Amino acid sequence: MTLVARLKVTLSDVEPQVLRRFDVPLKIKLNRLHDVIQAAMGWTD
Q: Are 40 and 25 in contact (CB under 8 A)?
A: no
Residue 29's Cβ-side half-sphere holds a number of Cα atoms within 13 Å equal to 2
The domain of 14 spans 4-41
CA distances from 39 to 1, 11, 32, 33, 34 (A): 25, 15, 11, 10, 9
Integer Cα distance of 16 and 27 in angstroms: 33
The pLDDT of residue 45: 81
What's the domain count of the chain? Answer: 1
The pLDDT of residue 16: 97
What does the pLDDT look like over 1-45, one tens digit per residue? 889 999 999 999 999 999 999 999 999 999 999 999 999 999 998
